[in-house]
Amino acid sequence: MEELTQIVQVTTNVSGIALRLHLTNLHGKSELVFQKLEFSFDETFHVKHEITLHGTATIKIPAGSRVITDPLKVAVHTGQRLFFRLSSSEPQNYLDFANTYDTTLTNAGMIRKADKLPRLRKSFTARRGWFCLEQIEFWTAAQPKTILFTGDSLIEMGLITDSLTALLNRAFPEKVVTLNSGISGNRLLHDAPTDELLYQTFGQGLLHRLPDLLEIQPELVFVLAGGNDLILPLLSLQAGKQKVTAPELLAGVTELQQLVSKNNGTLLLGDLLPFRLGHSNQVKLQTADYEDAQQTRREFNRLLTAKNYVFHNYFVADAQGQLSSTYDLGDHMHVSKAGGIKIAAKLYEKVVRKLELA
């Protein structure tokens, strides 16, 4: 982009006296420069505070690295919406990207101008993305428990996770915080295919990236993953050589549980939602491979019934075993906001018990 201004909105569930940001350029090939990094309590930035790095207003993020800004001394309170604006007038390529579909707690907007203010639009059906901002830390007297959401697009989109987070925030201010590390297209067992550019964004397999994610020491790890292990082999020639069986997926889940347990955390795993590939995909509905994938999903979900760390999502399916139109985002693979609210409501008591919040 020749120029960029982006705004990111977050909602805090802890109060504190200062904050600082983690900014990344992990996938970039050259340094990124932001001339301005600002904080405000309102999206118009009528009153704003400058955030610095090593005492300077210009933020430079070397290629392949992460930086942590200087602390900004500002009082924040539970439930407040916080707004961050990053601006650059330099032509540069941005590769570290995050997004949400649920704008209730997190939102973002960007414009290809360094001196304009983008609008924040509210919706549940379109991607709202931002670059480089990975994490926000608060100086707080609270000692909240941490939930790590991770897995594939069902996590990344926020329609389930933000619905659950909103319930927890209302009931337990100062007592719980959440982090979202979902990646669209992410698989449980295998890394991203490389035969198409889009596929390369799907990241390391969850089993490979989880040890790094666990460094934050989450008390609860909630996972939705495994669906792409079945879907991607139907779309990618490279992934087609990595077809998985239900016992292989179960072995992966067992390893997942062991990793979380060794880290003194608790795993909560959702079983595989129904999926249907339609005419817009490259797969005909009645191919043998497609039917095998459907059978593997059903078999894997049956194998999971004996696991006490599994959360079953059968209630979002219709009588034919497909994703109900009531809860379908429209692509027959992802839940809508209504689906996210439904799953979150079912999850809520289980999460409260596992974290011993009540």
Q: What is the pLDDT along the chain (358 residues), one digit of tens a residue?
A: 999 999 999 999 999 999 999 999 999 999 999 999 999 999 999 999 999 999 999 999 999 999 999 999 999 999 999 999 999 999 999 999 999 999 999 999 999 999 999 999 999 999 999 999 999 999 999 999 999 999 999 999 999 999 999 999 999 999 999 999 999 999 999 999 999 999 999 999 999 999 999 999 999 999 999 999 999 999 999 999 999 999 999 999 999 999 999 999 999 999 999 999 865 555 555 588 999 999 999 999 999 999 999 999 999 999 999 999 999 999 999 999 999 999 999 999 999 999 999 8
- Structural domain including 197 reads 145-355
Given the DSSP bridges, would you call strands 133-139 and 145-151 parallel, antiparallel or unpaired?
unpaired
| Residue 256: closest CA among 312, 304, 185 | 304
pLDDT at 257: 98
292 with 340, same domain?
yes
**86 plus 155 within the same structural domain:** no
Domain count, the chain: 2
DSSP E strands: which ranges in the chain? 4-11, 16-25, 32-34, 36-40, 49-50, 59-61, 65-68, 72-76, 81-88, 97-100, 107-111, 128-131, 133-139, 145-151, 176-180, 220-224, 266-270, 310-311
Q: Do residues 229 and 151 lie in contact, with contact meaning Cβ atoms separated by under 8 Å?
A: no
Label residue 125 exposed, middle or buried (CB < 10 Å: 0-12, 13-18, 19+).
exposed
Q: How many residues does the chain have?
A: 358
Q: What is the pLDDT of residue 277?
A: 85
Rounded to whole angstroms, what are the CA distances from 311 to 4, 92, 151, 281, 301? 41, 43, 14, 29, 10
Q: Are residues 96 and 54 in the same domain?
A: yes
- Going 141 to 147 to 148 to 150, the CA torsion angle's sign is negative
Give the chain's radius of gyration (CA, Å): 21
Instruction: Tell me, yes or no, whether 151 and 288 share the same domain.
Output: yes
pLDDT of residue 114: 96
Q: Is 209 in the same domain as 311?
A: yes
Of 104, 119, 139, the last residue of a domain is 139
CA nearest to 178, candidates 104, 262, 277, 255: 104
The strand pairing partners of 39, in sequence order, are: 49, 84
Q: Which of 89, 118, 139 is the last residue of a domain?
A: 139
The set of residues, in sequence order, having a beta carbon less than 8 Å from that of 154 and lying 6+ positions away, is 160, 182, 224, 227, 270, 273, 334, 335
Q: Is 154 helix (H, G, I), strand (E, B) or coil?
A: helix
- pLDDT value, residue 282: 53
The torsion angle over the Cα atoms of residues 298, 301, 306 and 309, rounded to 10 degrees, is 180
Q: Same structural domain for residues 83 and 164?
A: no
* Residue 234 and residue 135 in one domain: no
Residues 6+ apart with CB under 8 A from 226: 187, 188, 249, 252, 253, 272, 300
C-beta neighbour count of 151 within 10 angstroms: 26
C-alpha 17/C-alpha 77 separation (Å) is 9
- DSSP letter at 282 equals S
Q: What is the pLDDT of residue 327?
A: 97
Q: 73: which strand partners?
A: 18
Task: Decide which of 77, 110, 139 is a domain's last residue.
Answer: 139
Q: Check whether residue 72 and residue 167 sit in a common domain.
A: no
Tell me: do 70 and 175 sit in the same domain.
no
Backbone φ and ψ for 13, nearest 5 degrees, come out as -110, 10
